[in-house]
Structures are given as C-alpha cells and as structure tokens.
Structure 1
Amino acid sequence: MTAGLRSGELAGAAGVNRQTLRYYERRGLLAEPRRSAGGHRLYPREALTTLRVIKTAQRLGFTLDEIAELVDLGTHRHGRRPDASLQRRAAAKLTEIEGRIADLQVVAASLRAALDAGCDDLATCATTDCCPLPFADLDRGAHR
C-alpha cells in the first residue's frame, strides 16, 4: 500500500498552498487525511483529482458552495434530485456567465464611448449633455 501524499506534496502538485488544503477539509470538500506515525497528514492519491476538480470548477465560475454540492452529488449518485445534475447546474451557470458577459460588454462599450468622446474628468463630463457614461443618464433623470 502506498504511503500517500504529505500536505506539501499534495499542495504543490495541485498548485495550492497547505492552508487551502485545511480550508477545503473544514468545508467538507476534501476528506480529512489519515496521519502517519509521526503525525504527518497523508492524503490518498485521489485527493489530487479532487483538488483538480475543485480548481477547474472554480475556473468555470462555480462557488465553493456550489462545488460542495457537485462533489456531494458525485459521491451520492443514488436518490439524486432531478434538478441536481451537473448538466442542469452547468446550464444554469452558463446562463449566469453569459449574463455577466453581456453586462461587461455594456461596460466596455461605455468605456469605448468615453475614450472616443475624450472624457478626461468624470465630474466635468457628468455635467455635459454629450457625456456617454451611464451616470449622466441617471443624473439627467433625477432633474426631470
């Protein structure tokens, strides 16, 4: 039987720090490891896969709470709720991300317009009718 990975080995292989391992243990994302005779934490090799899954899910926009649910779903396949599948959750996350992208595209367009208009000072720009920034519309609406 293999001895397992020490905290530093696992953290290094996964690209995280040791405190992250302990935090994930406290959150229930990573099983608490067994201890060596000398008291060192020894993680099974599967822990590396778990950490890679967590980090990938984070890059895809899932929160740690959402990841905990997804990891839990994977370990308890029987009796799943129909709305709990990865497919459904991924679709919901995609919709959320696409909404954020649309919001960011509006922000980018506003910034391009401000650059094109030559806005140098927010306070001055806000008082002009040609200000392309969104707060100008809010300011004009307050005076109506």
Structure 2
Amino acid sequence: MGLKMTSAELAAFLDAEFPQVEGQFAIEDLGEMRITTRLIVGEQHLRPGGTVSGPSIFALADVSVYLAVLAMIGPQGLAVTTNCSIDFMRKPGSGVDLIAECRLLKLGRVLAVGDVLIHSEGETAPVARASLTYSIPPAR
C-alpha cells in the first residue's frame, strides 16, 4: 500500500487545516499503518489538580488515528471520526508530554479502525487506550 504523506506533509496539513491546535502535537515516528505522536502538554491541557484533562487525552488519540489514516490515503480533510471508545487507566505524569502509539487495524475504502495506546513520556504504564473508527470520504 505505502505511505502517501510524509511526517512533514502531515504536520503542515494539520497546521493549515486545524490552526487552533498548531504547535500542540508532534509526529515522533511514522510507518505504514502506524504512527507515534506527542501531545506537547501546556497549561491549556490541564484540569484542576494539574493533571492532563480527559478531552486533551481524547484529542491526542483522535489526532493520532486521523494522521495515520491520512498518511495512508493522502490529504482528505473530510475524513471524520464516527466512533470512539476510550479507557482512562491512570493519572498522567505531572509536567510531562503524552505519547500515543497508534496502529491502524483496518483500512478499507470507507472505514478505518485504529487502536491507540497512550503513556506519559518516560513511563511504560499506559494512561489510556482508545479505539477509533474513521469514515473516509468517497474518492472523486
């Protein structure tokens, strides 16, 4: 199948299409049907008590699958999340970025299914695990 976008192209696409999250995510590693991404944790990601919020952890999982799908199919801005299940397993480390390891389990014509394991930088125990399904727009 092969990659249709590089890490640099994915990062540029994300910044152009979603300027509201510019500088919040980084691509650490990219391969066929897999991607490793980083949430660069800032004040905007914290909830009371100083831990990373659930919506920020969800965003990392969602962006990871989105970028993994785009890497395989090319720049399709209208690929959208149709389902997500996320398990929050433990409190993230304090003051450290979160790392998401994503793999696509299925990449079809109209649907993609991805699995994401998220951990705090420097830790191996998972903070969260998510499964997402994406709808892929029809080819024109």
User: When you count strand as a share of all residues, which structure comes out higher?
Assistant: 2
User: When you count helix as a share of all residues, which structure comes out higher?
Assistant: 1
Q: TM-score, normalised by structure 2?
A: 0.25
RCO (CA 8 Å, sep 6+): is it higher in 1 or 2? 2
